[in-house]
Amino acid sequence: MLLLLAACALIADADLAAPMDLDGDGVARPIDCDDNDASRGAPPTWYVDGDGDSFGTDTTATAGDQPEGYAAQPGDCDDGAGTAFPGGIEACDGVDNDGNVYGGSGTGAADVTLGNGEI
Ligand SMILES: [Ca+2]
Ligand SMILES: [Ca+2]
Ligand SMILES: [Ca+2]
């Protein structure tokens, strides 16, 4: 018991007041989602991805690991169509597949061919 009390006296007040950052990544507990892994710091923002195309909506959550149904990036032009996302390949399906506002009729009417080849 006396030995334990003596050991506690060796801990400086500054050490006790300092935030815990065991992995030295500059993010202290409790914000650091894994204080034993310097490659993981504050939990990232995740974006709701309803169609599973890896692009999410503006609805977000923060978590250390990617929650199911969330994507690492926002910007889905149509979160109800897994074939429509930024940079996607335009197809003759009445959907704006590449997110550039061209290609989706939005009315159910026949697709229209544009000068740039998109439908
Ligand atoms: Ca960490
Ligand atoms: Ca999506
Ligand atoms: Ca989509």
What does the mean pLDDT of the chain come to?
82
Residue 46: nearest ligand to its CA? 2
Position 11 pLDDT exceeds 80: no
Distance from the alpha carbon of residue 39 to the mean position of ligand 3, in angstroms: 30
Distance from the alpha carbon of residue 72 to the mean position of ligand 3, in angstroms: 14
Predicted confidence (pLDDT) per residue in 17-49, tens digit? 677 899 999 999 889 999 999 999 999 999 999
Q: What are phi and psi of 15, to 5 degrees?
A: -65, -40
Distance from the alpha carbon of residue 17 to the mean position of ligand 2, in angstroms: 44
Distance from the alpha carbon of residue 119 to the mean position of ligand 2, in angstroms: 21
